[in-house]
Amino acid sequence: MKIIDAQVIVTNPGRNFVTLKITTDEGITGLGDATLNGRELSVVSYLRDHVVPLLLGTDPHRIEDTWQYLYRGAYWRRGPVTMAAIAAVDVALWDIKAKVAGLPLYQLLGGASRDRVRTYGHANGATVPELFDSVRARLAEGYQAVRIQTGVPGLKTVYGVHQGTAIAEADGVAGAPRLDQHATPLVEDWDTRAYLRHMPTVFEAVRNEFGPELPLLHDAHHRLTPIEAARLGKSLEPYDLFWLEDCTPAENQDGLRLVREHTTTPLAIGEVFNTVFDYQTLVADQLIDYVRSAVTHFGGVSPLRKLFDFAAQHQIKSAIHGPEDISPVGMAAAIHLDLAIHNFGIQEYSGYTARTHEVFQHAFTFEDGHLHPGEAPGIGVELDEEMAAGHPYEQAYLPVNRLQDGTIHDW
């Protein structure tokens, strides 16, 4: 079998998604997600201009060899653009291989290790009463674990707290919020001391309202220094978090050592990482509890599975990044992996707009807070190209963050 065509399709059924479609001489097609939020077109060019010419005429079954060729053969390794492009190829080739076998991808990854995949959803509110409403809405949708994000007194806009941007048309997960995307970057504001004072009061209120059982998560979104993160982790210990996510930017992996020494709150990290090398110290020294990379930003199913095996040796579990900016193609690949690996932890899932479900018809299902990849051969996603063309690309940026004196801060 040979690859005879590879197209890059950009569509915006609510937000921008980049999809690679590989076609073989036997008429079998495979899809891969290459969406890099806010920098989408750089991956489109990387694929169209530099990767597609290398794929034509090659054997789609040689997934590992193709991966190594694209990774090592570029000379310039790693980085989000490169690894999103390689991820799209890797997933599209797994899709083809599984379709040829007539099996859902998870069967080729060793078969199911569980019956279904536990997820967590996003609850948020500018105030605590609004947050409670949001938690109730997620529970009504079936979620059995909830991420908690709130406004901070004195700050206008804070990460994860969506102001009037809920997607009314979202189905399945009805209240799925639209992650802020703007034609020019929205400027949010930040005050670490106000945040550190506020968060324990929020979690105390949530525990009092919803009881001790509900798994609660929180994303600090890279904003704290290690000692600030240590303080937050310690102050949240009475509220028994499932995890504290991205508590500090982890370019300096050793920073997590300080956090770890001061708190027993479980730590999750890695959604901006793109190779196993970003995790080397974190995993080998057991400084974290969950690895958070997305199939889409980590080079695909092949390297992510290797990361999970490395993590398993250190009793660290998976928690694949699954925000709204991972397309249903990237999400489907994640769910197959979640079902197959032994050290599965939890899967993030925020749902999609109704239009997204129409453009990307998928076999995966969401029920009672759990996902299942379905039994369709391959990853189980088909792209309606005509419909996709009806929703063209729109330039969109993520927000940026400034301290109250105007200094740029991590978003």
CA 45 to chain centre: 22
Cα gap 205→164, rounded to integer Å: 24
Q: Which stretch binds ligand KDG (CB under 6 A): 94-102, 301-309, 320-328, 373-381?
A: 320-328
Query: Which one of the spans 71-79, 279-287, 317-325, 363-371 is the region binding ligand KDG (CB under 6 A)?
Result: 317-325
The contacts of residue 101 (CB under 8 Å, 6+ apart) are 107, 108, 377
Pseudo-torsion of CA 358, 135, 194, 409, nearest 10°?
A: -20
Using CB under 5 A, which of the segments 83-91, 216-224, 362-370, 379-387 binds Mg ion? 216-224
The footprint of Mg ion on this chain (CB under 5 A) covers a number of residues equal to: 2
Active site residue 159: yes
Of the candidates 28, 398, 402, 409, which one interacts with ligand KDG according to CB under 6 A? 398
Is residue 180 near ligand KDG by the rule CB under 6 A? no
Q: Which does 325 bind (CB under 5 to 8 A by kind): Mg ion, ligand KDG, none?
A: ligand KDG
Residue with tokens 């048309």: 169
Q: Quick one: what does residue 348 bind among ligand KDG, Mg ion, none, with the CB cut-off 5 to 8 Å set by partner type?
A: ligand KDG
Contact present, 159 and 184 (Cβ < 8 Å)? no
Q: Which does 288 bind (CB under 5 to 8 A by kind): ligand KDG, Mg ion, none?
A: none
Residue 83 structure tokens: 């690894």
Q: How far is the CB of 102 from ligand KDG (least distance, A)?
A: 34
Helix (H, G, I), strand (E, B) or coil at 88: helix
Q: Interface with ligand KDG includes 249 (CB under 6 A)?
A: no
Q: Which of 226, 315, 325, 233 is nearest to 271 (CA)?
A: 325
- 3-class DSSP assignment, residue 33: strand
Q: Which of 152, 175, 288 is closest to 233 using CA atoms? A: 288
Q: Which x/- pattern over 323-352 shows residues binding ligand KDG (rule: CB under 6 A)?
A: x-x----------------------x----
Find the binder of ligand KDG among 33, 95, 180, 271 (CB under 6 A).
Answer: 271
The catalytic residue among 122, 162, 198, 221 is 221
Residues that bind Mg ion (CB under 5 A): 219, 271
